[in-house]
Structure 1
Amino acid sequence: MKIVVKKPTQNFPFIMITLLFLIIGASYLHITNGVFNMSILEVLKTLFRIDPNRDFDLVIFEFRLPRIIIAGLVGIGLGMAGVILQGITRNGLADPGILGINAGAGAAIVIFMYYFQVQIVSADISSWLSILMMPIFGFIGGTIAAALIFMFAIKNSFLDMQRLILTGIAINSGFGALSMYLSLKMNEKDYESAAVWLAGSIYNANWIFILSMLPWIILLGFYLYKKAYLLDYFQLEESSITSLGIAVEKEKIKLLLASVALVSACVSVSGSIGFIGLMAPHIAKQLVGIRHQYVLPVSALIGASLLIIADFIGKTVFAPTELAVGIIVSIIGIPYFLYLLVKAKE
Structure 2
Amino acid sequence: MRKQVSRVFFLTVFFLVLLIVGASYLHITNGVFDMSIMEVLKTILRIESNPKFDLVIFEFRLPRIVIAALVGVGLGMAGVVLQGITRNGLADPGILGINAGAGAAVVIFMFFFQLRLVDADISSWASILMMPIFGFIGGTVAAAFIFSFALKQGRLDMQRLILTGIAINSGFGALSMFISLKMNSQDFESAAVWMAGSIYNANWIFVVAMLPWLILLGFYVYKKSYLLDYFQLEEDSITSLGIAVEKEKIKLLLASVGLVSACVSVSGSIGFIGLMAPHIAKQLVGIQHRYVMPVSALVGAALLIVADFIGKTIFAPSELAVGIVVSIIGIPYFLYLLVKSKA
For residue 336 of structure 1, the aligned residue among 333, 336, 340 is 333
Determine the structure 1 residue equivalent to 2:318.
Answer: 321
For residue 215 of structure 2, the aligned residue among 203, 210, 218 is 218
Determine the structure 1 residue equivalent to 2:70.
Answer: 73
1:250 is matched by which residue type in structure 2? K
For residue 19 of structure 2, the aligned residue among 22, 25, 28 is 22
Find the aligned partners of 2:2 and 2:220 in 1 and give their Cα distance. Answer: 33
For residue 94 of structure 1, the aligned residue among 85, 91, 111 is 91
Q: Percent identity?
A: 80
Tell me, which stretches of 5 or more residues in structure 1 are unaligned?
Answer: none
Counterpart check, 1:207 vs 2:200: no
Determine the structure 2 residue equivalent to 1:112.
Answer: 109
Find the aligned partners of 1:38 and 1:120 in 2 and give their Cα distance. Answer: 27
1:176 is matched by which residue type in structure 2? G
1:145 is matched by which residue type in structure 2? A
Contact 1:138 1:268 in 2 (8 A): yes
Q: When the two structures are superposed, what TM-score results if normalisation uses the length of structure 2?
A: 0.92
**Offset of residue 119 of structure 1:** 9.9
Determine the structure 2 residue equivalent to 1:239.
Answer: 236
**Offset of residue 122 of structure 1:** 12
For residue 282 of structure 1, the aligned residue among 250, 268, 279 is 279
Q: When the two structures are superposed, what TM-score results if normalisation uses the length of structure 1?
A: 0.91
Determine the structure 1 residue equivalent to 2:174.
Answer: 177
**Greater CA drift, 300-309 or 115-124:** 115-124
Counterpart check, 1:264 vs 2:261: yes
Determine the structure 1 residue equivalent to 2:307.
Answer: 310
Find the aligned partners of 1:156 and 1:179 in 2 and give their Cα distance. Answer: 33
1:34 is matched by which residue type in structure 2? G
**Greater CA drift, 275-284 or 208-217:** 208-217
Find the aligned partners of 1:89 and 1:223 in 2 and give their Cα distance. Answer: 19
Determine the structure 2 residue equivalent to 1:84.
Answer: 81
Find the aligned partners of 2:115 and 2:53 in 1 and give their Cα distance. Answer: 33
Find the aligned partners of 1:10 and 1:103 in 2 and give their Cα distance. Answer: 39
Contact 1:310 1:329 in 2 (8 A): yes
Counterpart check, 1:33 vs 2:30: yes
Counterpart check, 1:345 vs 2:342: yes
Provide, for residues 167-223 of structure 1, a one-character-per-residue CA deviation record: whole Å limited to 9, x for no partner: 433322211111122223333322221111001001111111111111111111111
Determine the structure 1 residue equivalent to 2:193.
Answer: 196
Tell me, which stretches of 5 or more residues in structure 2 are unaligned?
Answer: none
Equivalent positions of 1:294-309 (< 5 A) are 294-309=291-306
Provide, for residues 131-161 of structure 1, a one-character-per-residue CA deviation record: whole Å limited to 9, x for no partner: 4454443333223323444554566766666
Determine the structure 2 residue equivalent to 1:255.
Answer: 252
CA change 1:136–1:226 in 2 (3 A) is: closer
Equivalent positions of 1:147-158 (< 5 A) are 147-153=144-150
**Greater CA drift, 325-334 or 204-213:** 204-213
For residue 46 of structure 2, the aligned residue among 44, 49, 65 is 49
How many residues are treated as equivalent by the alignment?
343
**Offset of residue 104 of structure 1:** 1.3
**Offset of residue 237 of structure 1:** 1.3
